[in-house]
């Protein structure tokens, strides 16, 4: 799939982030995008490695018992990754 290299997150919708519970850092991200031939999902792991690419139903959602969408763990992951993406402060 030519749209994966280079991967442009602006063209995809982020649907799931897997993060470490101890550090809050991302382990992998899952993205989806609609095309004429259907909806495609891609899982990108550490080091920008494509782990999985598959066609999915337009009704597919990233839901399940282990999915966290609020609370202390959600906030920790959000804070950790916001700091990682922020420009470094001058010394």
Mean pLDDT, the chain, whole residue set: 82
Q: How many whole angstroms separate alpha carbon 18 and alpha carbon 45?
A: 9
CA distances from 22 to 26, 29, 76, 77 (A): 11, 17, 10, 10
Mean pLDDT for the stretch of residues 56-74? 81
In 3D space, the residue among 15, 19, 75 whose CA is nearest the CA of residue 40 turns out to be 15
> Is a pLDDT exceeding 70 seen at residue 15?
yes
* pTM of the model as a whole: 0.74
> Is a pLDDT exceeding 70 seen at residue 91?
no
């Amino acid at each position: 799939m030519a749209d994966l290299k280079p991967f442009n997150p602006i063209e995809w919708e982020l649907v799931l982030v897997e993060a470490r519970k101890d550090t809050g850092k991302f382990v992998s991200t899952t993205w989806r995008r609609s095309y004429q031939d259907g909806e495609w999902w891609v899982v990108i792991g550490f080091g920008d490695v494509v782990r999985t690419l598959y066609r999915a139903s337009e009704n597919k959602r990233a839901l399940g018992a282990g999915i966290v969408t609020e609370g202390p763990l959600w906030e920790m992951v959000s804070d950790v990754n916001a700091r990682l993406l922020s420009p470094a402060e001058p010394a």
